[in-house]
Each structure stands twice: as structure tokens, then as C-alpha cells.
A = this chain, B = another copy of it.
Amino acid sequence: MKSLSILFFTVLLLPGISLSDCLIRGTGDMGVIVERAAGSLKVVDTTHHNTLFQVEGLGDLSHASAVYSRDERYVYVFGRDGGLTKVDILCGRIVKRIIQGGNSIGGAISQDGSLIAVSNYKPGGVKIFSADDLSLIADIPATTVTDRDGNKKGSKTVGLVDAPDQRFVVSLYDSGESWIIDMSDPAKPAIQRFENIGSLPYDGLVTPNGRYYIAGLFGQDGLSLLDLWHPEKGTRLILDDYGRGQKKLPVYKMPHLEGWAMADDRAFLPAVGQHAVLVVDSKDWKEIKQIPVHGQPVFVMARPDGRQIWVNFAFPHNDTIQVIDTETLEIINTLKPGKGTLHMEFSPRGESVWISVRDKDEVQVYATRTQELTHRLPVDKPSGIFFTSRAHQTGL
């Protein structure tokens, strides 16, 4: 007993080694779930469907997003309050936390894993940090615009994603631009600017192969498409009918572009302000079909093999999930996980899907083949779910 006491006492004092709370285990089957109200994370094991750690003190996690280091050990969480927090999921603790801006709305990790980029509403612009110690590598101011009161300010930056060849792509809400930021030489960010991409881009995505960047537009119908293999061709407008049309929806009612799914040659996306999923041919961006669904879709997500699309909905229909067959384009199942069904994340090879059900304070796990509930985990007001397999994918 005595030697064990000495052991544990000593181990706790050794820097970087703490057997009492760090795990020797693979990280390929791990993930985090955002507990929005508490400002904390649950670190989970997707093989055994259990919680490994709770990590507290992450600040305001409304609409928080997260990316993983290439070794799948660290998660970088982007908070609404401008916080950037690096969490060690093997030890269940915050490694470093900084407030990098006034109001952050998303981030990305570079292809090689060395750089973390964050887009900010205030003061606008993109900041790029070392993934290692969160030291500032580059501070890229946004285009200056004049607001209604005649004051100068930096444009809000939105829709920040990573792209192959060590690039980031971002859009500027107020100035109507998209930028490619090439960080091959971290000391000299090379910025390629595309102006007049459309009015008020509010969000962006990159296709899973990293080729196409698409920005959603709040100020007009349609979306802006940029072919990253051919930036010299500039942006072009696609899906001319996609948008608010004559309706005056507030910006928060516009679909998140992260809620798009790509399966084979087709994109599945939420129709704006309608109870429908749009099916679009991703070769020519023409609409193939509108699938009537239970409510206004929020996330339209493809099972990794592209066989099924799972859809959740905005309030007051947010107690429901519908499953669409990608071949017949018909709804094959309607599930009722409960009120506040906010987010979904598929296991890497798609055998299961984890669903946040806020008002039940739980995450539900379903087998995708049968669409049957297999496990429940208690989680305090769960929202975003992020599995480590994202580390290996572009744009996630």
C-alpha cells in the first residue's frame, strides 16, 4: 500500500503525466458533445457509448463549432464569445483558452494541421493561430465598409473553411467578397480576392473533395460558386431561385450551409422557408426534385455511404427526424426523438447516428440500417456533436 501511495502522489506531480486522469487509448472512436447551457463538453467513446470526461469552462457555446488536430487528440472549440479553446480529450482538460475576438462564428484547421483560422464578426477579419500553442501567426483585417451611421468598420467574415493545398476560404458579409487565403508560407499569407460575388454572403461550405466553395446569399436569391481548381474563372451564381424570394426572412432563418449533404452527384439541401428538401444535380446545379418533409429542414445529412439522408427541423417541428432513401427520394421513416432534436453526427463508417435531444437532456444513438434506438447517454442540454474522424476530412 505504501509504495502505491507514493506512486500516485508522485505521478500526479510529474508534469504532463497524470495517470489519474489521462487515458492510454486510441482516439479514433472518440468525440465531444457540446453542452450549450453549461458551457461544457462531454468527451465520449463511440464504441461503448459512454462518457469519458466532462470538461468545463468553455464560455458561451451558443452555435459553437469544433475541429480536430490531425492526431485526433485535441479539439479546438470556437465559441460565440470569441473564445478559442484547445481541449485535450485524452486527459479531459483545457490545454489553453484565449479570447481571440469579440464575436466568433466559426473556424477551420489547415490541411497539415498546423494552423487554426477563426472568422470574426467583430472586429471582422480572420485570425490565424498556431495549432500548437494558439500563438498568433497572422491577423488579416477585413475590407472596411461604412455602416448606416457613417462609421467605418471591418466587414463581418463568415463561411470560413479549409481547402486542399494549405488554403482557407472565407466570405465577407458586408462587402460581398470571397477570399482564398493561401498559408503555404505562414509568414506571408497570400490572399486572392473575389469581389461582387453577390449580396450579403451569410455562410459558406466546401464540397467534400475540397473543390467547390459555395457561399449562401442573404441579400439576393442564388448562391455564389467558386471552383478552387480554377480560381481564375472567378465566382458564378448558381441555383438562381435559392433564397428568400419575396419573403423577408431574418438571417437566422436562412439555412446553414453545413446542413447540406452531398451524395454521389447530388446535393440535398434545405429549401428556404419551405417544408421541403431540395435535390440538386451537383454537375450543373439544376434542381432535380423537391421532397416534401415534416417541417423547415435545418440539417440535411448523408449517411457516409450516401444511402440515406437524415433530416431534422426548425421549431415547432424540432421533435422529429425524417429519413430519405437517396435512390427513390422517398421518406422511409419518421422518428420522434423528442423536443429540441438539434444535431446529428454519423459514426465514421455510418452504422450509427448520434442525435442531440436538448429537452430530454440526452443523446440518442440509432442504428442506421434499422433506424432503431440502441443507446441513450445523459448529456446536459446537448447541441453540436463532433467525432474525431473529422480530423481526416476536408471542410469539417
Contact = CB atoms under 8 A, between A and B. Distances in A.
A111 interface: yes
A27 B24 contact: no
A335 to B, nearest CB: 19
A90 interface: yes
Contacts of A71: 25-30, 47
A209 B7 contact: no
Contacts of A304: 394
A10 B3 contact: yes
Query: How many copies of this chain sit in the oligomeric assembly?
Result: 2
Nearest to A207: B305
A270 B128 CA distance: 42
Contact of A24 (B17, B164, B165): B17
Nearest to A264: B209
Interface residues of A, number: 58
A349 B72 contact: no
Interface string A44-79: 001100000000000000000000111111100000
A265 B281 CA distance: 13
Nearest to A11: B7
Contact of A28 (B4, B68, B350): B68
A229 B3 CA distance: 60
A317 to B, nearest CB: 29
Contact of A350 (B164, B349, B388): B164
Given A26-B90, A28-B27, A394 B349 contact: yes
A234 interface: no
A165 B349 CA distance: 10
A111 B73 CA distance: 23
A394 B349 CA distance: 7
Interface in A300-353: 304-307, 327, 348-351
Nearest to A389: B392
Given A24-B24, A28-B392, 5 more contacts: A30-B71, A70-B349, A209-B306, A229-B307, A392-B392
12 contacts: A17-B24, A23-B24, A24-B91, A26-B27, A26-B72, A28-B68, A47-B71, A164-B307, A164-B351, A348-B392, A349-B394, A389-B392
Interface of A: 3-4, 6-7, 10-11, 14, 17, 19, 22-30, 46-47, 68-74, 90-91, 111-113, 164-166, 184, 209-211, 229, 264-265, 304-307, 327, 348-351, 369, 388-389, 391-394
